[in-house]
């Protein structure tokens, strides 16, 4: 291909990019298809096509184009770096690390390499490692809003709030139409307690970039909508008539669902949430979760968990709040973190990641003996030490640090092996409220949350896991805290949690919403307000839509049978339920 042809195709790619910004997605996709067919294995064209695919929102195709570019020009560190970043977006973390480290060896002074490795360590929740790479990337490219946006996120996680705010403000100043920079500034303002300023920033971001769905989604979570917002909601509805990537359309549906829910227009809300979940729904292997639980139960038996000499770290610092997502884990974390000796770490991926390493061969179909080979005491202590390093980042002085990753309910046996003196709190909430709240939340990383049937199956796995851990661990090892009871009588249940953590009572923990600190949650604004009771029995507003999921959750709804019947939901007979549970 001669230089003139390459120039023409690059111009076409640029034209497609401009069309996407104008909302003309169909036209852009036609150009993309034509250029892809003509580009062949040309390295620079595939690199540009990879960037176009990122703009389109097609992660898999972006990986494919960047891989072609990197394979054709193996010495080009920028191509390898962008391939690594694309792998990160595809959540193929080890492939990402390999590409980025290869690029680093070739040329450490490429900003994309430093930025990509920074993002990799962010994804691993190793923020102290991430900050070194991100600061170097910022030195190499000080006017890059993307780099400053990720620096903002990392600094917040390390409780370096003033620096985070400065980088967020600089990112917006560099590019006030950059949607991720706008969101980073809004989140930073909210996370340090200034929700009104965060809302104003999001309203400005909507005007600057009216088709970016993530802005509407975050705005809906930050603000309580009312009839006074009818004009804005109407304009947002009309946006759906325009062409846009499915990801943006999905986010706008989630946002409109929340807005209508705020306004008590429950049927309209449910329709939008339904559309959002249909757009986001992808295949999910529920059998993997079942196999993982089966493996946990085989390895962490009563005898294994109650051996004479514990092999883990005796520290009492870690506090694990587990449960289903949207079951009150954030509220519980904030209460404990507001103690003078407490801190919150958010949802750390470290335990699930470690479990995937230990149980990887078993999940691939090999025997459980492969797991037991990984349970060497020296290795287990290494895993525990590594986890503590991550847990303490930005929280060195705290005596108790909360990891509120809900899915750790699967790994309580592993946690107790690592940390026999860790505090475990089980966040319990009404099954239908959990199911509804998961379905209504834009969980791009929880594929099962887009399908009520899968939600019910995950809930069953959760209940089976927690019942098992309670049966094999010594009495009192797990503190159950019912969300509905916590919001009705905060002091009593906060006292129970503080006591379980081995701390003295401090009344100030009930004013958690006044404390400055990191809040990584689906409901940022709620964590900055006093305890509220409006989410109790929320399912009643949507009862007409919940018959099928109630039937799937029937074994766990027996105590609500009469209440459900009043709302028009009839559960199967109790005899059928007993057979179902066998």
- Tell me what pLDDT residue 193 has: 80
Q: How confident is the model at residue 512 (pLDDT cuts 50, 70, 90)?
A: confident
CA distance 476 to 478: 5
CA distance 164 to 192: 10
Q: Where are the alpha helices (DSSP H) in 281-411?
A: 286-299, 302-305, 329-337, 350-358, 360-363, 369-373, 377-391
Q: What is the pLDDT of residues 382-425, one digit of tens each?
A: 999 999 999 999 898 899 999 999 999 999 999 999 999 999 99
Q: How confident is the model at residue 159 (pLDDT cuts 50, 70, 90)?
A: confident
CB 120 within 8 A of CB 84: yes
What pTM was estimated for this model as a whole? Answer: 0.87
Q: How confident is the model at residue 521 (pLDDT cuts 50, 70, 90)?
A: very low
Q: What is the pLDDT of residues 242-262, one digit of tens each?
A: 878 888 999 999 999 999 999
Q: How confident is the model at residue 365 (pLDDT cuts 50, 70, 90)?
A: confident
What number of other Cβ atoms are within 10 A of residue 301's Cβ? Answer: 11
Q: What is the pLDDT of residues 325-351, one digit of tens each?
A: 999 999 999 999 999 999 999 999 999
Inform me whether the pLDDT recorded for 1 exceeds 80.
Answer: no
Phi-psi region for residue 113, left (φ > 0), alpha (ψ -120 to 50) or beta?
A: alpha
Mean pLDDT is lowest, of 14-23, 28-37, 431-440, 545-554, for: 14-23
Q: Which of 462, 479, 485, 573 is nearest to 537 (CA)?
A: 485
């Amino acid at each position: 291909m001669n230089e003139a042809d390459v120039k023409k195709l690059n111009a076409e790619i640029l034209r497609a990019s401009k069309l996407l910004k104008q909302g003309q997605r169909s036209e852009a996709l036609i150009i993309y298809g034509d250029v892809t067919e003509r580009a062949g294995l040309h390295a620079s064209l595939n690199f540009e096509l990879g960037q176009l695919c990122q703009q389109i929102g097609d992660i898999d195709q972006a990986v494919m184009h960047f891989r072609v570019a990197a394979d054709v020009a193996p010495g080009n560190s920028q191509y390898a770096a962008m391939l690594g970043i694309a792998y990160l977006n595809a959540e193929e973390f080890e492939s990402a690390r390999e590409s980025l480290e290869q690029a680093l060896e070739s040329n450490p002074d490429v900003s994309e390499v430093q930025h990509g490795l920074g993002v990799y360590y962010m994804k691993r929740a190793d923020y102290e490692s991430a900050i070194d790479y991100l600061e170097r990337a910022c030195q190499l490219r000080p006017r890059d809003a993307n780099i400053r946006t990720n620096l903002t996120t990392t600094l917040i996680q390390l409780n370096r709030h003033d620096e985070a705010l400065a980088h967020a403000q600089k990112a917006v100043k560099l590019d006030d139409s950059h949607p991720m920079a706008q969101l980073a500034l809004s989140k930073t303002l909210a996370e340090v307690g200034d929700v009104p300023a965060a809302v104003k920033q999001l309203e400005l971001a909507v005007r600057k970039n009216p088709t970016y769905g993530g802005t509407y989604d975050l705005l809906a979570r930050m603000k309580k909508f009312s009839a006074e917002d009818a004009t804005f909601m109407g304009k947002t509805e009309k946006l759906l008539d325009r062409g846009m990537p499915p990801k943006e359309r999905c986010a706008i549906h989630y946002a409109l669902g929340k807005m209508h829910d705020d306004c008590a227009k429950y049927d309209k809300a449910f329709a939008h949430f339904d559309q959002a979940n249909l757009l986001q729904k992808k295949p999910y292997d529920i059998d993997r979760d079942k196999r993982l639980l089966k493996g946990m139960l085989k390895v962490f038996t009563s005898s294994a968990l109650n051996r004479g000499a514990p092999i883990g770290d005796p520290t009492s610092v870690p506090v694990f709040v587990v449960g289903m997502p949207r079951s009150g884990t954030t509220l519980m974390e904030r209460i404990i973190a507001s103690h003078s000796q407490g801190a919150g770490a958010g949802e750390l991926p470290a335990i699930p990641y470690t479990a995937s390493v230990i149980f990887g061969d078993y999940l691939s179909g090999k025997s459980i003996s492969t797991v037991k080979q990984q349970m060497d005491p020296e290795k287990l202590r290494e895993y525990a030490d590594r986890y503590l390093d991550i847990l303490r980042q930005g929280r060195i002085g705290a005596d108790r640090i909360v990891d509120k990753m809900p899915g750790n309910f699967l790994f309580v046996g592993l946690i107790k092996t690592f940390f026999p003196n860790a505090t475990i709190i089980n966040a319990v909430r009404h099954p239908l409220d959990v199911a509804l709240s998961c379905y209504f939340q834009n969980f791009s990383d929880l594929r099962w949350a887009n399908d009520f049937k899968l939600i019910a199956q995950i809930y069953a796995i959760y209940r089976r896991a927690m019942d098992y851990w309670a049966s094999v661990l010594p009495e009192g090892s797990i503190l159950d805290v019912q969300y509905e009871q916590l919001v009705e009588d905060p002091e009593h249940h906060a006292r129970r949690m503080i006591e379980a953590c081995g701390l003295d009572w401090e009344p100030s923990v009930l004013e958690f919403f006044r404390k400055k600190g990191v809040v990584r949650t689906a409901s940022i604004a709620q964590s900055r307000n006093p305890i509220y009771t409006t989410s109790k029995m929320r399912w009643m507003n949507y009862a007409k839509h919940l018959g099928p999921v109630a039937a799937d959750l029937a074994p766990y709804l027996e105590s609500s049978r009469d209440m459900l019947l009043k709302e028009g939901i009839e559960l199967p007979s109790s005899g059928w339920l007993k057979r179902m549970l066998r």
